[in-house]
Amino acid sequence: MAIALMVGVAACNNDSNNSTPGEATVKVHMTDAPADFSEVNVDVQAITLMPADSTEGTSEIDLGAHAGVYNLLELTNGLDTLLANKNIPAGKYSQIRVKLGTDNSLVMNGNTYSMKVPSGSSSGLKLQLNADFVGGVTYDILMDFDAARSIVALGNGGFNLKPVIRVSTEATSGSIKGMVNPANTEGVVYAISPSMDTLSTYVDTVSGSFMLRGVPADVYTVEVDPATDSGFSKQSVDNVKVVEGTQTDVGTIDLTTQSSGTAQ
């Protein structure tokens, strides 16, 4: 399953965090898009920010990440986990870096496979951020791993982890939410841009709700793809406009049975 992976930075209003006028507060979250595995476990050890005017290996700011192993597949459909929360000097930052440990694995067909990280394990995965943090403002940095594209199968039956990550900011992106009826079709929701860039998430099988976060401003086709054995056809909503810093609600998308309607 091909899915986009995002790291998003979201500008929020001033809140109760005790940052000074010369400081910004950054909160680092991690989320994921669907993949055809039971578990994709990533060992996060450290997260740092690189100021725009710093040189390699100097002036990095350690965000004090909550180190641990995180199952990416528990972080879909708008869910995330807070990895770090820290006040930093206001200013421009060029990169966010994520250092991974060695305890990375995936579960597929009941079997657990260890995954090696061929690069970036020592210096960290370097992700372009290019953000200007204003003093007294709180920013959410959203890291959304593309589990499906990040896993590389090897000829010997093993796997490597080569993280595919896309960076965006909530200040320059929005979100799409809605409902699917019926809920229990194990559906996947896609937001497809005119350039065919695709974001996706699962439909909640109890409530039928879904949410796509960190969506770049554009006009999208939102498509619901139920499981093949659900008996329901694909349905789509055209001309869904996403505006920076806002949430677009597409309402309820009613699925039709394969006998009463055709896939759109």
- Tell me, yes or no, whether 160 and 186 share the same domain: no
> What is the pTM assigned to this prediction?
0.62
Residue 263 lies in a domain: no
Residue 62 lies in a domain: yes
- Tell me, yes or no, whether 125 and 51 share the same domain: yes
Residue 259 lies in a domain: no
Measured CA to CA, the distance from residue 81 to residue 203 in angstroms comes to 19
Residue 1 lies in a domain: no
Measured CA to CA, the distance from residue 253 to residue 249 in angstroms comes to 11
Under 8 Å between Cβ of 77 and 211: yes
- Tell me, yes or no, whether 181 and 66 share the same domain: no
Measured CA to CA, the distance from residue 119 to residue 104 in angstroms comes to 14
- Tell me, yes or no, whether 116 and 216 share the same domain: no
- Tell me, yes or no, whether 115 and 152 share the same domain: yes
- Tell me, yes or no, whether 80 and 140 share the same domain: yes
Element (H, E) at 212: strand 209-216
Residue 14 lies in a domain: yes
Name the domain boundary from 135, 165, 195.
165
> What pLDDT, on a 0 to 100 scale, did the predictor assign at position 235?
96
Q: Which domain holds residue 152?
A: 6-165
- CATH assignment of the domain containing 229: 2.60.40.1120
Name the domain boundary from 165, 182, 197.
165
242 Cβ partners below 8 Å, 6+ apart?
173, 174, 175, 176, 191, 215, 216, 217, 218, 219, 220, 248
- Tell me, yes or no, whether 66 and 145 share the same domain: yes
Per-residue tokens: 201 = 């998430």
> What pLDDT, on a 0 to 100 scale, did the predictor assign at position 262?
47
- Tell me, yes or no, whether 161 and 43 share the same domain: yes
- Tell me, yes or no, whether 134 and 204 share the same domain: no
> What pLDDT, on a 0 to 100 scale, did the predictor assign at position 157?
84
Residue 136 lies in a domain: yes
Which residue from 23, 45, 49, 21 is spatially nearest to 167, judged by alpha carbons? Answer: 49
Under 8 Å between Cβ of 219 and 194: yes
Measured CA to CA, the distance from residue 83 to residue 143 in angstroms comes to 10
> What pLDDT, on a 0 to 100 scale, did the predictor assign at position 197?
87
Ranges under pLDDT 70 in the chain: 1-24, 32-35, 55-58, 119-122, 135-138, 167-173, 245, 260-264
Per-residue tokens: 127 = 């992700």
Name the domain boundary from 114, 131, 165.
165
- Tell me, yes or no, whether 109 and 230 share the same domain: no
Residue 262 lies in a domain: no
Residue 66 lies in a domain: yes
Q: Is 229 helix (H, G, I), strand (E, B) or coil?
A: helix
Which residue from 238, 222, 229 is spatially nearest to 258, judged by alpha carbons? Answer: 229
- Tell me, yes or no, whether 16 and 120 share the same domain: yes
- Tell me, yes or no, whether 102 and 159 share the same domain: yes
Q: Is 74 helix (H, G, I), strand (E, B) or coil?
A: helix
Look at the chain and report how many structural domains it folds into: 2
Measured CA to CA, the distance from residue 40 to residue 263 in angstroms comes to 31
For 123, 158, 159, 257, the CA distances from 155, given in Å and listed in that order, are: 27, 7, 9, 41
Under 8 Å between Cβ of 177 and 248: yes
